[in-house]
C-alpha cells in the first residue's frame, strides 16, 4: 500500500484550561496565517470539538517534508524564523495545555484539498494503532476495501481519507501517534444524530458500527473518535 502523491498533513490537537481559552484562540487567529508565510505551507483549518474528548483541532497541508521541517524541526537552525517566533509567543501564554501534533502521509481515499477539506463541513476524526503488527495488512485491507466504502455510501457522509504517521530525523525523538488516522466529512450538525449517536443513527450507520466493534476494534489499540465543526480557514498568499 503506497502513499498517495500529494501534500503531507499536520494534525494538532489541543485541550486547554478554560481561563486561558481567550488567549489561546487570540494567538491561534494570527498563528495559522503566520505559518502559511513559510514556503511550502499551503493552507490551514481550525475546528472545535462537538463530540469526544479533544476540544480543538488544527490541520495544515504542507507540500514536502523539507517544508514541514521548517516548522517542526527540533533544531532552531533548521527552522524558519517565523516558526521560532510563533513558538516564543505560544510559550508566553501561561496555563496548562495538552497539545499533541502528528505528521501524516495520505494512504487512500479522497484527495486532500480536492475534495477532502476543501469546504466547510463537520469532520469525524478516528485515530488508532494496530494491536498486532502481524495483522496490520488485514487491518488496512478491511479499512480500505470494506469499512470506508460502506461508510461513504451512508447519507450524510461526503468524503473520506486515510493517513499514516510519517516521521523524520529532524523531528528528533518527538513521539507521534496513533499511527493511523481516518478523516470523514459530514454534511453538517444534523449528522450528530444520524451518524454519531448510536440511539438515533441511521440503520446502515448502526450496521457499520456493529461491524467496527466485531471486526475493526479487535485489531485496534489506542483508539479515539472526535467530531468537530469548522471555525476558521486560511490559505497561503499566492
Is the pLDDT reported for residue 237 higher than 90?
Answer: no
Question: Which residue matches cell numbers 449528522?
Answer: 191
Residue 190 grid cell = 444534523
Question: Using 50, 70 and 90 to split pLDDT, how confident is the model at 48?
Answer: very high
β-sheet bridge partners, residue 182: 126, 162
pLDDT of residue 5: 72
pLDDT at 138: 96
- Mean local confidence (pLDDT), 8-17: 96
Task: Tell me what the mean pLDDT of segment 218-222 comes to.
Answer: 97
| Domain residue limits, the chain | 8-235
Residue 1 has what pLDDT? 43
C-alpha cell at 19: 481561563
Q: Give the pLDDT confidence of 120-158 residue by residue, as tens digits.
A: 999 999 999 999 999 999 999 999 999 999 999 999 999
Calpha distance 39→41 (Å, rounded):
6
CATH of 8-235 given 3.30.70.100, 3.40.50.300, 1.20.1260.10, 3.90.226.10 = 3.30.70.100
Report the pLDDT value the prediction gives residue 3, as an integer from 0 to 100. 58
Amino acid at each position: 500500500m503506497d502513499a498517495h502523491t500529494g501534500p503531507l498533513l499536520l494534525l494538532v490537537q489541543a485541550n486547554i484550561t478554560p481561563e486561558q481559552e481567550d488567549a489561546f484562540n487570540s494567538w491561534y487567529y494570527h498563528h495559522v496565517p503566520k505559518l502559511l508565510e513559510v514556503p511550502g505551507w499551503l493552507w490551514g483549518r481550525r475546528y472545535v470539538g462537538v463530540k469526544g474528548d479533544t476540544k480543538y483541532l488544527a490541520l495544515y497541508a504542507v507540500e514536502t517534508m523539507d517544508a514541514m521541517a521548517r516548522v517542526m524541526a527540533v533544531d532552531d537552525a533548521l527552522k524558519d524564523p517565523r516558526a521560532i517566533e510563533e513558538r516564543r509567543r505560544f510559550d508566553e501564554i501561561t496555563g496548562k495545555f495538552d497539545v499533541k501534533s502528528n505528521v501524516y502521509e495520505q494512504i487512500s481515499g479522497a484527495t486532500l484539498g480536492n475534495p477532502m477539506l476543501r469546504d466547510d463541513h463537520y469532520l469525524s476524526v478516528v485515530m488508532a494503532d494496530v494491536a498486532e503488527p502481524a495483522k496490520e495488512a488485514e487491518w488496512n485491507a478491511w479499512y480500505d476495501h470494506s469499512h470506508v466504502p460502506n461508510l461513504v455510501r451512508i447519507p450524510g457522509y461526503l468524503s473520506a481519507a486515510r493517513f499514516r504517521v510519517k516521521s523524520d530525523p529532524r523531528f528528533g525523538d518527538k513521539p507521534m501517534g496513533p499511527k493511523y488516522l481516518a478523516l470523514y466529512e459530514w454534511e453538517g450538525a444534523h449528522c450528530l444524530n444520524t451518524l454519531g449517536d448510536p440511539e438515533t443513527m441511521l440503520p446502515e450507520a448502526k450496521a457499520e458500527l456493529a461491524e467496527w466493534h466485531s471486526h475493526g476494534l479487535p485489531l485496534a489499540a489506542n483508539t479515539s473518535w472526535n467530531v468537530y465543526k469548522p471555525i476558521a480557514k486560511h490559505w497561503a498568499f499566492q
